Amino acid sequence: MTKSVVTENSPHSTPSVIAIIILLLLVLAAIAVTTEAAWQQWRFADFSVSDKGVTDQRSQRELYLERKVKNLAASVLDTKDIKVSVQVGTGGSSFDSDAVESKAVLVLVNNRRQNTSVEQTLSTLLKAGLAIDEAQGDSFTMQFLVFPSLSDSTRSVLGFTVLQRMYIGLALLLVGIVGLIWALHRYRQSSVQSQELLDDYSDQLRRFKDIAQDEPTRVASVLSEWLNGVPK
């Protein structure tokens, strides 16, 4: 009777092992989902260059002009729908206030098709605001294209956006970790209980062997009565 109890409470029983494996797979799947979503989030994050760490005059001048372009363009478009690159050159060997400045301005507009009205308005506004003079070597280029973003349908998987996948992954990770800790705790408790029952069974068996060695006739008689049935 005791032996069957030990077997049923074995920590290596199929249900406990399967539960741990399932929870472990859930944690791994949650890590994969969260990592993929975090990677997509990082890929399309806005890493705008700040003034920090920029010490040379040319870079500071370029950043100033880029901010100026965005401020001017904000009267026509949302600043999220425009990207700007400004490069400044000089006629001399170094950048100083006396040298003739040349500007190369590139404006990217988030639009699938070229919009003539927007192009003309922005071109007139920005060229006037930046004092673009092609005769002095300045250049101004505007292009229309679609910016990739986290909200694009192509970024969705099974109908879930990047942010939704990240939330789902974090939720699954939390559930998986908590469930795995609980399953391992139950596994350990079951292991301790099984070991205690096994020790008790071994102790009873040892005592029975000791009695059998001391009183073999009595033990044989008891076993015979137990196997054949005690007459009433």
**Three-state secondary structure string covering the chain:** CHHHHHHHCCCCCHHHHHHHHHHHHHHHHHHHHHHHHHHHHHHCCCCCCCCCCCCCHHHHHHHHHHHHHHHHHCCCCCHHHEEEEEEEEECCCCCCCCCCEEEEEEEEEECCCCCHHHHHHHHHHHHHHHCCCHHHCCEEEEEEECCCCCCCHHHCECCECHHHHHHHHHHHHHHHHHHHHHHHHHHHHHHHHHHHHHHHHHHHHHHHHHHHHHCHHHHHHHHHHHHHCCCC
pLDDT tens, residue order, the chain (232 aa): 444 444 444 545 667 788 888 888 999 999 998 888 888 777 666 555 555 556 678 888 888 888 898 888 888 888 888 888 888 887 544 445 556 788 899 999 888 888 888 889 989 999 898 888 888 889 999 999 887 665 554 556 677 777 778 888 899 899 889 988 888 888 777 777 777 777 777 777 777 777 777 777 776 777 777 777 655 4
